[in-house]
Amino acid sequence: HAKVNGRRQSCFYDQTMSRDLVRRREIEAELRSAIVKNELSIFFQPIIDLDTGRIKTFEALVRWFHPEKGELKPDEFIPVAEETGVIVTLGNWITAQAAKAAAQWPEDVTIAVNLSPLQIKAPGAALGIMNALREAGLDPSRLELEVTESLFLDDHGATEHFIEELSAIGVRFALDDFGTGYSSLGYIQKYPFSKIKVDRSFVSGPNVGKKTDAIIHAVAELGSKLEMDIVAEGLETIDQVRTVRDAGCTLGQGYYFSRAVPDYLAAMLLSQEEDTRIRATG
């Protein structure tokens, strides 16, 4: 019996594994042409100033609307893009689209774009970003690049150079998913981050409690001393918003405020704010 069961189980296992593998191969094969076929699009999720309740930034999040597979999330195809090297082309396209959208928004609203380590280490990476900014006519200070700590694992000069070169023209950097990786205060000391994004596992879910609360307080304190914005990711309830605001986080992002939306809806969210924006600035 045990043998039969064992064999059945391993057979089932092989089937799921090969199904995953087939899907991966398909994604790999189709990703290159997806851009040309217009199947990819950039969605925008607002990041809110927790003092004023207004939109400070939109984070660009890529989506793939596959004709047969439906909506694919970046967690499924970005890793494939990284492995195959397509991430460089894809990343340049994403930055260009995001910069174009941002150029239509009020000047005090910034755009945040996620960058993969591989993208940053590719030759001409900084130039690709500069080209996207120039073509869109977007001031570099309105672009923020989100990187994760994994970028610094195999530091080979290219990263430092990339960050230096773009910081020099006014591009800003945010440390994404803080607390999930190899969180080292050394990175915060070494690189000119203007923002730290506290991972959503500290904000909602099973791990949230006294300890995560203390950590958020400590990071917020660090942010205020170093004049960095601290963003709480993954805010889904008003209680979570209050907790992180009371802890000292300056910005918030999450489904409580809005999911990532297409460009026309992002523009609509901004125009709904326009009255107060004009009153506040003029």
Count of chain residues binding ligand C2E (CB under 6 A): 23
Residue with smaller CB distance to ligand C2E, 146 or 229: 146
Q: For residue 265, count other CB atoms closer than 10 A to its CB.
A: 14
61 binds ligand C2E (CB under 6 A): yes
Position closest to Mg ion via CB: 146
Residue with smaller CB distance to Mg ion, 176 or 229: 176
Q: Which does 65 bind (CB under 5 to 8 A by kind): Mg ion, ligand C2E, none?
A: none
Q: Which does 73 bind (CB under 5 to 8 A by kind): Mg ion, ligand C2E, none?
A: ligand C2E
Residues from 223 through 252 that contact ligand C2E (CB under 6 A): 234-236
Q: Shortest distance, CB of residue 59 to Mg ion, whole angstroms?
A: 6
**Where does this chain touch ligand C2E (CB under 6 A) — which range of 6-14, 73-81, 158-166, 272-280?**
73-81
Residue with smaller CB distance to ligand C2E, 66 or 277: 66
* Cα–Cα distance for residue pair 40/29, rounded to 1 Å: 15
46 binds ligand C2E (CB under 6 A): no
Residues from 86 through 105 that contact ligand C2E (CB under 6 A): 94
78 binds ligand C2E (CB under 6 A): yes
* Cα–Cα distance for residue pair 117/82, rounded to 1 Å: 9
Q: For residue 266, count other CB atoms closer than 10 A to its CB.
A: 26
Q: Shortest distance, CB of residue 253 to ligand C2E, whole angstroms?
A: 6
Residue with smaller CB distance to Mg ion, 114 or 250: 114
Residue with smaller CB distance to Mg ion, 121 or 197: 197
Residues that bind Mg ion (CB under 5 A): 114, 146, 176-177, 233
Q: Print the binding letters for residues 120-139 with ligand C2E: x by CB under 6 A, - otherwise.
A: --------------------
Q: Which does 240 bind (CB under 5 to 8 A by kind): ligand C2E, Mg ion, none?
A: none
* DSSP code string of the chain: -HHHHHHHHHHHHHHHHHHHHHHHHHHHHHHHHHHHTT-EEEEEEEEEETTT--EEEEEEEEEEEETTTEEEPHHHHHHHHHHHSTHHHHHHHHHHHHHHHHTTS-TT-EEEEE--HHHHHSTTHHHHHHHHHHHHT--GGGEEEEE-GGGGTT--SHHHHHHHHHHHTT-EEEEEEETSS---HHHHHHS-EEEEEE-GGGTSSTT-SHHHHHHHHHHHHHHHHTT-EEEEP---SHHHHHHHHHHT--EE-STTT---B-HHHHHHHHHHHHHHHHHHH-
Position closest to ligand C2E via CB: 254
Q: Are 196 and 231 in contact (CB under 8 A)?
A: yes
**Amino acid symbol at 9:** Q
* Cα–Cα distance for residue pair 272/282, rounded to 1 Å: 17
Residues from 166 through 205 that contact ligand C2E (CB under 6 A): 176-177, 200
114 binds ligand C2E (CB under 6 A): yes
Provide the binding-site residues for ligand C2E, judged by CB under 6 A.
45, 60-62, 73-75, 78, 94, 114-116, 146, 176-177, 200, 234-236, 253-255, 260
